[in-house]
Chains A and B, each alone.
Chain A
Amino acid sequence: MWQRRFDLPLGADGTTRFVPWLIAVMVYLAALALAAGMATADAASRWNAGLAGTATVEIAPASDRATTDERVGDALAILRATPGVIAATPISEAEVAELLAPWVTTGELPSELTLPRLIDVRFDPGTAVDLRTLGAKLSALIPGARLDDHGTWLQRLRALGTSVQIAAALVVALIAGASAATVIFATSAGLAIHREVIELMHWIGARDAYVARQFQSHAMSLALRGGVAGVLMGAATLAGFRALMGPSQGSLLPDVGLGPATWAALAILPLAAAGIATLTAKATVLRALRRLP
């Protein structure tokens, strides 16, 4: 039941002309915050999946190569005998050198640099492995061996991801509050400007809801217009980021591309803005009308 006809000339007074602009800016900011939050959540879960269930054993190089190889062999034997370990794979020196390459400017590793040997360990996600005991056992039996379960690294990543998400949620909530405040301000101005007409309608038997509906429809259309504009600007900005970062950034950087979930969240933003505007306008008008006898 959509009634286009308004008894109140709400669009004509110019006091609400700024509302779509403000809503557009706020929805734009909300879109960026939301995308940032979702991208971080996504990346954090990928880091989690990538690193959980793995560990690395590091063996310091001994004085001669043969001893080092022997220690690596011992460590592999202990690991493979441990229940819950699916795989223990030594990483070749060449691979280690490759891992280090980005940090070495000259490209050639100095030959006198002796690298530690690394073993990549994967655990069965269904079996609880006591990493502390395993680490202690390795250290005790093999000189220079150390088990790194990535725990500290993962913990920091998780904390960072959670902080970014909380900040994003807070930003979105603040924006929702600011939007509501904007609508309250605009609606109050409308109530003041059209006071005489509203009083007349009240005296000739208009229910509060009838008057409120006109403000609601007006606020809804203003917010919808601003919201669509804001979310389009947001999508354009995100697409720009995406283009700047280039295709396929591996798994380490958060992916700011517009996945289906992000698209859905962005599509909801203008509707959410319209919903907030409608409810806020309604509450503001009903509150004001209660003061009439």
Chain B
Amino acid sequence: MNQTAQTEVVRLDGVAMRYATGPEVLRNIDFRLDAGSYHFLSGPSGAGKTSLLRLMYLAHRASSGTVRVFGHDIASSPRRSLPGLRRRIGVVFQDFRLLDHLSVRDNVALPLRIAGVDEPVIQSHVAELLNWVGLGNQLESKPTTLSDGEKQRVAIARAVIGRPSLLIADEPTARVDETQGVRILRLFEELNRIGTTVVVATHDQHLVDRFHHRVLRLEDGRITLERDGRAPALTREAGRVATPL
């Protein structure tokens, strides 16, 4: 693997995407996520944020263009190599996607079980992490008995239990109050500080403005703005895409 592949966690070139035979919901997408970066993906509902994240966590294939994850061109990677790539990605799904028949403990343990980690190691890691997110006394609860805020934290714990290099969170603050939302984003900053690349999709512009991270703005399936995190004043319109309307 060459040097660029090491520093580029995700790279999309000229990517378009559609669901089945429907219209393209993403068009002409170019961007890269460098290792250790923290990005917001903003834009109104229906802009294509979830769709773009699905491309990144390998739940969907691009209809054109190239998607590279950890330096691998996904279209030409053998199918058997994809689970290994997916295990390096932690995903917080917009609708949590917790398994209601499993306890909180088993939900969070799932990625480690899938990866074949030894059971004693799983047990200690899971207990430790659930303590860290403040759910140490809910290990045996079923997700259906939890509040949205608690479910969100279980979903986050499951996403990070495998120490992913890339953390993808889809609207992680949408179903919690602002204080909890800020706490969650701070928690992601801690993970980012120890080297995790973070992408957070949110339609909440207010929240985006509170944190000075890089921003990719999506509108109607196109990137309309890329803002550099360190200099929030120097926003620039993405030159290659003419803003519609």
Interface residues of A (CB under 8 A from B): 5, 7, 9, 12, 196-197, 199-201, 203-207, 210, 290, 293
**How far in angstroms is the closest Cβ of chain A from B164?**
10
Chain B interface category by residue count:
20 to 34
Residue pair B101, A204 in contact (C-beta under 8 Å) = no
Assembled-state Cα–Cα distance A210/B91 (Å): 20
Contact of A204 among B60, B61, B80, B110 (CB under 8 A): B110
Assembled-state Cα–Cα distance A7/B112 (Å): 12
Residue pair B91, A203 in contact (C-beta under 8 Å) = yes
Residue pair B114, A206 in contact (C-beta under 8 Å) = yes
29 A–B contacts, CB within 8 A, in A order: A7-B99, A7-B106, A9-B101, A196-B97, A197-B99, A199-B59, A200-B93, A200-B97, A200-B99, A201-B110, A201-B114, A203-B57, A203-B58, A203-B59, A203-B86, A203-B91, A204-B86, A204-B91, A204-B110, A204-B114, A205-B84, A205-B85, A205-B86, A206-B83, A206-B114, A207-B80, A210-B114, A293-B60, A293-B61
> Given A12-B101, A200-B93, A205-B114, list of 6 further CB < 8 A pairs?
A5-B113, A200-B99, A205-B87, A205-B115, A207-B80, A290-B79
Report the nearest A residue to B114, measured CB to CB: A206
Contact of B102 among A7, A207, A210 (CB under 8 A): A7
Report the nearest A residue to B116, measured CB to CB: A210
Assembled-state Cα–Cα distance A204/B57 (Å): 8
CB neighbours of B79 from chain A (8 A): 290
Interface residues of B (CB under 8 A from A): 57-61, 79-80, 83-87, 89, 91, 93, 97, 99, 101-102, 106, 110-111, 113-115, 158
Assembled-state Cα–Cα distance A267/B46 (Å): 60
CB neighbours of B91 from chain A (8 A): 203-204
Report the nearest A residue to B55, measured CB to CB: A293
**How far in angstroms is the closest Cβ of chain A from B7?**
23
CB neighbours of B93 from chain A (8 A): 200
**How far in angstroms is the closest Cβ of chain B from A194?**
10
CB neighbours of B59 from chain A (8 A): 199, 203, 293
Assembled-state Cα–Cα distance A290/B82 (Å): 12
Report the nearest A residue to B80, measured CB to CB: A207
Complex A-B, nearest 3 residue pairs according to Cβ-Cβ distance, in ascending order: A205-B87, A205-B86, A9-B101
Assembled-state Cα–Cα distance A5/B106 (Å): 10
